Amino acid sequence: MKNVYIMTVASLFLGLTPLAAQQTTGNIVEYFGKERVERVDEGIILHSFKQGYFVPVTAPSGYLFTTSDGLGWEIATGKFKAPSGNDLTTTNYGRTREAVQWTPIEADSTGKFANRALRRAYVFTEYNADKPHIALLESSGNTRTFINGMPHEGDHYDFAYTLIPFRMQKGNNEFIFTPGRFGRVAAKLIIPSKPVMLTKRDMTLPDIINGEGEKWGAIRIVNAQEKALSGLKIQCKLENGETATLTTDDVMPMMVRKVKFRIPAATTAKTGATNATVILQDRSGKEIDRAEIVLQQKDASVIHERTFISDVDGSVQYYSVNPSTTQGDNQALFLSVHGASVEARNQARAYAPKDWGHIIAPTNRRPFGFNWEEWGRIDAMEVLAEAEKVFKTDPAHTYLTGHSMGGHGTWFLGVTYPDRFAAIAPCASYPDIARYSRPNADAANVGEKHFTTICQAANAGRVLDLKRNFLQSGIYILHGDSDNVVPIQQVRQMREVLGTFHPDFCYYEYPGGSHWYSNESVDWKPIFDYFRWHKVPAAGEVKQLEFHTASPAISAKDYWVTINQQDTAYAFSSVSFKQTDNGISGTTSNVASLTFDLPALKLPAAASITIDNETMQADGTKPAVLKKVSGKWALVDEVSVTEKYPSRYGGFKQAFDNYVVFVYATGGNKEENNWYQNKARFDAETFLYRGNGSIDVIADKDFIPSAYADRNVVLYGNAANNKAWNKLLKNAPVQVLKGEIRMGDKVMKGNNLGTYFVYPRPDSRTASVGVVAGTGIEGMKATYPNDYISGITGFPDLLIFNVDILKEGIHGVEVSGFFGNDWSVENGCFITE
């Protein structure tokens, strides 16, 4: 299955270091003729895969719960057998162990394996190498890739972003590509031109704004060597000589990381293209590589792009601005969230400029990203905060709109943060992505006991269950009545739902309108006229308040009330209160602790609080913190940060926030160490691809708590092999050891157990620790799927499962649930076998 000519070229490379390969590249081109060596920017193509096999996916799948992978199970249990021309049958595959056949497939004239069946099939191919060597795998159309049994990120949106450094072993090398969206997969092997280099694939660049200072940019570094990079500098030099230099992020071994750099301010005002050189230097200032880029220089008065540093991971993110035609502060802000496959820059340009406010378009971290949930939600709110700071807008005149997936984002963000937007306008929208996109995807899981916990962990995305939060904003619904992408029934349902309780919404079906019929699909004048009529009231003006949330981790505050804790984590909670002459009165549901901002209400010093028919006196000059004690409400001095509270509430996904750092084990055997290092790398690759992320990934021996103070940490490995475990989790009620997991008094034995859980970081008031660990080789490999890096799936505080989760889906889960508000097992809510 190898090309004979290409293998001849490879034989000159294999066994050389990448640097040596670079030094001989010119001779190879000269020897074979330039037309016979195909290049990419990062090196020379060693091999393009033309032949392979595919086999259908038979493991169960879902939407809220997606952790199943039949071939992953075979790899984890050592049962995988590569197909060959002599044997195309695999008998251990899938939940039912039914025999299935691999089918040979050849790449088409464009170099792609293309077949509609590939939307639900794995593709296998292989390459035989004469000698070990470091190479880059470029793939597209697949969701994930196994390279010699190790998982890596794919390129399922066909962005052509993926470059995976790996050590090619002597002899046969196996590649498995998991199903993608389009039924087409392409892959090639590349000999890197340098061991360390820049690649211009997928840069994040701002515009240079005349009269403003330095900006943030981001570019990928390819580290095609088996040692980490630290102390690297990036210098950016504009064509007129302006220079900015920054010591940038470290890069783990065999990794492509998108790192930050500074773009200098231009000393001469102009408009149009500006050439720049990005120079990668070692710590001494010696040049390693350079890239020529083109930036746009603009006035702040025209549509432009801006960048900022995200608190999630310290990465550079961008947003687009369609500025107001009127200068000055205290103008309106229109947050516009885009649809699937659309960039923020396109979204902003779909509008004519307004004379009374700025149109701000975040990008969900990617054109698809997280469906405006999870880290997409965070991106939207980070951009809102950044734009408010830059443009000094009036918080009372903040509005939200979006199209298609952005219409869903409008419903979701609007219902999640009801006190932030005066009015919202979903266009071509659907309210709930799980119930719209694949409404029956989880049908096989319904009724399974652990699925209850999964659904609970995903409750924040159930827009209709939180619908009464919409009472706090005006709503304008726009939809084409001939939309063949998002059926009109989606918003007709919302019209009916809102009609039962909402006094202030408008609904318009555009006659003959398709999904996108013109810029009026979003830039609809009546929407902005409607916006003008609405404002966000000051907290003291809100005389009656009704607030619903699925979790304080996602949404805790509404005007003058904050829900700190729930009786049942991630179940729906609500409060309903009104101001009285000398205080407030109301009721709660599924609330264990809350805070009232009494000063915002300008109450008398002796304020009365009536809650669930209990009355108490409070000091109206300071916030009142209430907590249930033995079933009765009591005033307490403060929110306890040693317990669950909004800034550290749990849900496993919440570990992937707060400038998170990944720490992998090095204290196990060779197989364990290699796996955990690669698993951390794989998660970082996925966060880069899906979320434009840039995560610090370090070895446990390099983790010094004070050097990463108050940052979230995700540990890869268990108490026996991760040297950082005792620094962070020595007293945790869940301990993962060799051959067993201890959960309070419960001991679960076996080498095939894996777990994900989140727990407070003991040396911080705000940071959390996430854990990805197994009890043995099979349990370790059972943690391979990283479906937690998704905007839709549900992950509670704790999941314990066996390796059969990959084959049997939710049937492989053994424990699921949430710690108590005191982070204990005893006071938690868990489902066990």
Q: Which residue has the tokens 């807008």?
A: 393
Any idea which of 26-30, 108-112, 344-348, 560-564 has the lowest mean pLDDT?
A: 26-30
Pull the structure tokens for residue 124.
């296998």
| The predicted structure's pLDDT at residue 531 | 98
Strand partners, 137: 164, 189
pTM of the model: 0.95
User: How do residues 638-649 score in pLDDT, each as one tens digit?
Assistant: 999 999 999 999
| The predicted structure's pLDDT at residue 54 | 95
Which residue pairs from 825-832 have beta carbons closer than 8 angstroms and sit at least 24 positions apart in sequence?
Answer: 825/733, 825/734, 825/743, 825/744, 825/746, 826/744, 828/797, 829/568, 829/569, 830/743, 830/798, 831/449, 831/450, 831/452, 831/453, 832/746
What mean pLDDT is predicted for residues 576-596?
96
| Residue type, position 284, single letter | S
- Tell me: pLDDT of 22 over 50: no
What domains can you pick out in the chain, each with its CATH number?
A: 4-58+98-193 (2.60.120), 438-466+534-646 (no CATH), 652-832 (3.30.379)
Q: Can you spell out the DSSP letters for 170-182?
A: SEEEEEEE---SS
User: Are 803 and 778 in contact, with CB atoms under 8 Å apart?
Assistant: yes
User: How do residues 788-818 score in pLDDT, each as one tens digit?
Assistant: 999 999 999 999 999 999 999 999 999 999 9
What pLDDT band is residue 99 in, cutting at 50, 70 and 90?
confident
CA separation for the pair 54, 34 (Å, rounded):
35
Give the pairing of strands 753-760 and 798-802. antiparallel
User: How do residues 368-396 score in pLDDT, each as one tens digit?
Assistant: 999 999 999 999 999 999 999 999 999 99
- Tell me: pLDDT of 29 over 60: no
- What order of strands is seen across the sheet that includes strand 740-743? 734-737, 740-743, 746-749
Would you call 544 helix, strand, or coil by DSSP? strand
| The predicted structure's pLDDT at residue 746 | 95
What pLDDT band is residue 441 in, cutting at 50, 70 and 90?
confident
User: Are 211 and 257 in contact, with CB atoms under 8 Å apart?
Assistant: no
| The predicted structure's pLDDT at residue 5 | 30
SS (H, E, C) 268-337: CCCCEEEEEEEEEECCCCCEEEEEEEEEEEECCCCCEEEEEECCCCCCEEEEEEECCCCCCCCCEEEEEE
| The predicted structure's pLDDT at residue 35 | 45
Any idea which of 4-13, 27-36, 445-454, 570-579 has the lowest mean pLDDT?
A: 4-13
What pLDDT band is residue 6 in, cutting at 50, 70 and 90?
very low
Q: Can you spell out the DSSP letters for 6-66?
A: HHHHHHHHTTS-HHHHHHHHHHHHHHH-GGGS-EETTEEEEEE--EEEEEE--S---SS--
Nearest CA to 730 out of 762, 757, 756 is that of: 762
What mean pLDDT is predicted for residues 575-598?
96
What pLDDT band is residue 97 in, cutting at 50, 70 and 90?
low
| The predicted structure's pLDDT at residue 8 | 30
What pLDDT band is residue 67 in, cutting at 50, 70 and 90?
confident
User: Are 146 and 133 in contact, with CB atoms under 8 Å apart?
Assistant: no
User: How do residues 252-292 score in pLDDT, each as one tens digit?
Assistant: 999 999 999 999 999 999 999 999 999 999 999 999 999 99
| The predicted structure's pLDDT at residue 95 | 59
Q: How far is CA 740 from CA 28, 304, 608, in A?
A: 54, 55, 53
Give the pairing of strands 593-596 and 573-579. unpaired
- Tell me: pLDDT of 820 over 70: yes
| The predicted structure's pLDDT at residue 812 | 95
Length of the chain: 833
CA separation for the pair 357, 52 (Å, rounded):
55
- Tell me: pLDDT of 203 over 50: yes
CA separation for the pair 758, 774 (Å, rounded):
15
Nearest CA to 167 out of 183, 182, 154, 152 is that of: 152
| The predicted structure's pLDDT at residue 70 | 87
- Tell me: pLDDT of 138 over 90: yes
Percent of the chain with pLDDT strictly greater than 90: 88
User: Are 450 and 813 in contact, with CB atoms under 8 Å apart?
Assistant: yes
CA separation for the pair 609, 246 (Å, rounded):
54
Q: How many beta carbons lie within 10 A of that of residue 506, not counting itself?
A: 15
Give the pairing of strands 304-309 and 332-337. unpaired
What mean pLDDT is predicted for residues 500-513?
97
| Residue type, position 496, single letter | E
| The predicted structure's pLDDT at residue 758 | 98
User: Are 772 and 716 in contact, with CB atoms under 8 Å apart?
Assistant: yes
401 burial via Cβ count (<10 Å: 0-12, 13-18, 19+): buried
SS (H, E, C) 643-670: CCECCECCCHHHHCCCCCEEEECCCCCH
| The predicted structure's pLDDT at residue 94 | 57
Residue partners of 303: CB distance under 8 A and separation at least 6: 320, 321, 322, 323, 348, 349, 353
| The predicted structure's pLDDT at residue 4 | 30
Q: How far is CA 54 from CA 59, 95, 104, 181, 354, in A?
A: 15, 18, 7, 15, 53
Quick one: how far is CA 42 from the chain centroid?
27
Strand partners, 544: 578
Percent of the chain with pLDDT strictly greater than 70: 95
User: Are 599 and 622 in contact, with CB atoms under 8 Å apart?
Assistant: yes
Residue partners of 475: CB distance under 8 A and separation at least 6: 414, 423, 424, 425, 426, 498, 502, 504, 505, 506
Strand partners, 740: 737, 749
What mean pLDDT is predicted for residues 573-601?
96
Give the pairing of strands 768-774 and 713-716. parallel
What mean pLDDT is predicted for residues 28-54?
75
| The predicted structure's pLDDT at residue 657 | 98
pLDDT, mean over the chain: 93
Pull the structure tokens for residue 376.
């997409």
| The predicted structure's pLDDT at residue 830 | 97
What pLDDT band is residue 163 in, cutting at 50, 70 and 90?
very high
| Residue type, position 309, single letter | I
